[in-house]
């Protein structure tokens, strides 16, 4: 005879849940099978747990951590639902859910797709971010209604996707509202983490869940932007070309002295090589430094044509379209820095490109 057959029909007199080690279980239904709970049974609720009684699909009594003897006195809601009167102490059937209220840590979040953000230096850039967070069930009854329902066991992975989507959505809002330059994001992880934490909390409260910790561990820029930053760093490492020349000269002298057959000729040759190399590098840097910088590119313009956005166009292209009549004085145009679309003739730099219209003929 199996264990199930042996206990079938017997009264349950001990109700408890010993959570397994390293468990990710958020809610667990006490395995009652077809047994009835004995009135006066012992209920043990440990720290980090809450016990919720459910009768025929309706939430009844809730028990905080502690040890209880189940009687009509401490089951007021269930007593009302069952219709017990005058302390009627018969066995009863009810579902008991244990909700884990402890903190779950080191949960991961990340952006499945790049986030678009506007940066003053790089323009529109795509970034990725990831980090960790901690959460716990803050309202067991709301969590039971909204998430667990009739599920006999509910684990963290079952809510992970919803948590990630909420976190990424609100983090994107925070990133856009913070207006932090791309090169300064690394120094503002703590600020972004705190802002995101406060932004995410209200959304999760409706699920009976609270976010206790939120960390941004890394925000990465596109590879081409990181490569440009590396190139700038290399230029800084080269430093003063004059110092490089003196270093090459000092290195050539002991090399020449170690060659007895070369004498002073070797010293001179070594020094010449060092000076020549240093001079070439210094000349190249001086040539680069002395040449005028490239002409700054003009602003880019977007043009509304038949209700559709076209462009961007540089100033010469835009001027050509004005001359051919493709762009008229009232054509809507937008460029970086404008709050909204504006008529072409209202932009100061474009006014001179439109011919002056003659004044009205006097009557």
The answer, yes or no, to whether residue 3 has pLDDT greater than 90, is no
What are the extents of the domains in the chain?
3-100, 104-225, 241-259+267-278, 301-353
Give the position of tokens 């963290």.
Answer: 156
pLDDT single digits (tens) 140-161: 999 999 999 888 999 999 999 9
Instruction: Return the bridge partners of 19, or none.
Output: none
Nearest to 151 by CA among 93, 95, 92: 95
Reported confidence tier of residue 196, pLDDT bands at 50, 70, 90: very high
Average pLDDT of the residues in 343-357: 78
- Other Cβ atoms within 10 Å of 52 Cβ, number: 21
Reported confidence tier of residue 66, pLDDT bands at 50, 70, 90: very high
Alpha carbon distance 122, 61 (integer Å): 58
Q: What is the topology classification, in CATH, of domain 104-225?
A: Tetrahydropterin Synthase; Chain A (3.30.479)
Alpha carbon distance 211, 198 (integer Å): 9
pLDDT single digits (tens) 107-135: 999 999 999 888 887 788 899 999 999 99
Q: What is the pLDDT of residue 193?
A: 95
Reported confidence tier of residue 358, pLDDT bands at 50, 70, 90: low
318 versus 297: which is more confidently predicted?
Answer: 318
Least confident range of 68-72, 142-146, 218-222, 345-349: 345-349
Average pLDDT of the residues in 181-186: 87
Reported confidence tier of residue 78, pLDDT bands at 50, 70, 90: confident
Reported confidence tier of residue 32, pLDDT bands at 50, 70, 90: confident
pLDDT single digits (tens) 304-346: 888 888 878 888 888 888 888 888 888 888 888 888 888 888 8
Output the six-digit token pair for 20: 């397994």
DSSP string, 303-341: EEETTEEEEEE-HHHHHHHHHTTSS-TT-EEEETT-SS-
Element (H, E) at 80: helix 76-82
Q: What is the pLDDT of residue 42?
A: 94
DSSP string, 109-171: EE-SSPEEEEETTTEEEEEEEEEEEEEEES-HHHHIIIIITT-SEEETHHHHHHHHHHHHHHH
Q: What is the pLDDT of residue 238?
A: 60
172 versus 362: which is more confidently predicted?
Answer: 172
Average pLDDT of the residues in 287-296: 54
Alpha carbon distance 246, 275 (integer Å): 8
Side-chain half-sphere CA neighbours of 250 within 13 A: 6
The answer, yes or no, to whether residue 217 has pLDDT greater than 70, is yes
Q: What is the pLDDT of residue 251?
A: 66
Alpha carbon distance 162, 68 (integer Å): 36
Output the six-digit token pair for 175: 């990133």
Per the CB < 8 A criterion, the answer to whether 79 and 132 are in contact is no
Q: Write the secondary structure of 91-106 as one string of H (helix), E (strand) and C (coil).
A: CECCEEEEEECCCEEE
Prediction pTM value? 0.59
């Amino acid at each position: 005879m199996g264990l199930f057959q042996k206990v079938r029909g017997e009264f349950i007199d001990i109700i408890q849940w010993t959570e397994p080690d390293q468990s990710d279980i958020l809610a667990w239904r006490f395995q009652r099978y077809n047994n009835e709970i004995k009135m006066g049974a012992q209920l043990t609720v440990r720290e980090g747990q809450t016990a919720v009684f459910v009768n025929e699909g309706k939430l009844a009594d809730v028990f905080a951590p502690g040890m209880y003897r189940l009687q009509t006195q401490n089951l007021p809601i269930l007593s009302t639902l069952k219709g017990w009167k005058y302390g009627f102490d018969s066995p009863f059937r009810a579902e008991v859910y244990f909700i884990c209220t402890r903190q779950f840590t080191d949960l991961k979040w990340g952006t499945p797709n790049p986030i678009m953000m506007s940066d003053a230096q790089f323009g529109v850039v795509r970034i990725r971010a990831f980090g960790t967070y901690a959460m716990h069930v803050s309202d067991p009854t709301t969590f039971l209604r909204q998430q667990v329902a009739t599920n006999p066991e509910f684990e963290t992975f079952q809510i992970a996707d919803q948590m990630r989507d909420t976190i990424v959505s609100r983090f994107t809002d925070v990133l856009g509202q913070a207006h932090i330059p791309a090169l300064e994001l690394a120094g503002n992880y703590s600020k972004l983490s705190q802002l995101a934490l406060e932004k995410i909390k209200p959304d999760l409260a409706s699920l009976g869940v609270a976010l206790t910790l939120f960390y941004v561990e890394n925000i990465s820029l596109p590879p081409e932007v990181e490569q440009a930053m590396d190139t700038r760093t290399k230029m800084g490492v080269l430093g003063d070309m004059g110092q490089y020349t003196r270093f090459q000269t000092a290195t050539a002298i002991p090399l020449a002295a170690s060659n007895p057959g070369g004498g002073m000729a070797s010293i001179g040759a070594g020094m010449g090589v060092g000076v020549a190399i240093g001079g070439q590098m210094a000349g190249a840097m001086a040539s680069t430094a002395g040449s005028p910088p490239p002409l700054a590119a003009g602003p880019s313009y977007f043009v509304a044509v038949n209700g559709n956005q076209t462009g961007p166009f540089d100033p010469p292209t835009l001027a050509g379209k004005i001359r051919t009549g493709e762009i008229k004085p009232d054509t809507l145009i937008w460029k970086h820095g404008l709050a909204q679309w504006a008529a072409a003739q209202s932009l100061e730099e474009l006014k001179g490109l439109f011919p002056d219209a003659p004044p009205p003929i006097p009557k």
